[in-house]
Amino acid sequence: MKSLFTAEKIKELHKNGETSVEISPQSTIITPEARDVAKKLGLKIIDVAAGIEPRKSSGSLAGSRPDNLQSIKEAVRAKLPAGHQDSALLDQLIEKALKELQHQDEAGPSCEREKAPNGVVLVRGSSVKPGKFDGAGGKPIGLTDVIGSADNSSIAAGYMQWENCSFPWTLNYDEIDVVLDGELHITCGNKTHVGKPGDVFFIPKGASIEFGSPGKVRFVYVTYPADWSAQ
């Protein structure tokens, strides 16, 4: 399964002092939002050629810690003074920290993807786990990019979902939304258009609207160009 690079991981790398990160398009998905954040923070993304294993960044959330729990414990003990090595307490604290880190990793957006040699990509919709959309003013909006420029695509696609909330948005790109579950409300001026499962919205570039829903909603979006968050 491919690993996923999100905007949050890019921010964490920058926070840890990293100035670049190497990724392989064959084994890594990097969201358009992540590329945009990297550009703004000055963190260089290096696409390595197929067959070359990317070097692990010291600040990376993926691959920065050893898989062997005993190795971790020995490394921590080596950093502690001789009089501060309560073995049982140390083991307990390390295991707790690793569980919290694993939970943080699992909390981010993810999906199962299959990619054919000719570039065809299959995303398993039932596997999509949403991340947090930072552009909604702190509201609990879930978003997961699943297709983007990393797939050599000129368009992007992803999933959004939320429950009983709304937020304004101005599009600097063209967007198509296909409602999967619930109702998607799009307000233009004084009129609200209601989309139900199977319905399709087209929102042209430059439109100022309000996304919303009185209950749960889940839909697929398709945008042009692919790097919609950089527009």
Residues 89 and 164 in one domain: no
Split into its structural domains, the chain has a count of 3
**Each residue of 133-160: pLDDT tens digit?**
877 778 899 999 999 888 889 999 999 9
Residues 134 and 186 in one domain: yes
Average pLDDT over the chain reads: 79
Residues 115 and 226 in one domain: yes
Mean pLDDT of 182-201: 97
What amino acid is encoded at 169 in this protein? W
Helix (H) or strand (E) holding 165: strand 156-170
Residues 90 and 148 in one domain: no
Residues 58 and 146 in one domain: no
Query: pTM value?
Result: 0.56
Read off the pLDDT band of 26 (50, 70, 90): low
Expressed as residue numbers, the domain containing 43 is 3-62
Any idea what the CATH number is for the domain that residue 137 is in? 2.60.120.10
Residues 57 and 9 in one domain: yes
Peptide bond between residue 225 and the one before it cis (omega within 30 degrees of 0): yes
Q: Is 158 exposed, middle or buried (0-12, 13-18, 19+ CB in 10 A)?
A: buried
Residues 182 and 140 in one domain: yes
| Residue 160 CB neighbours (<10 A) | 20
pLDDT above 60 for 175? yes
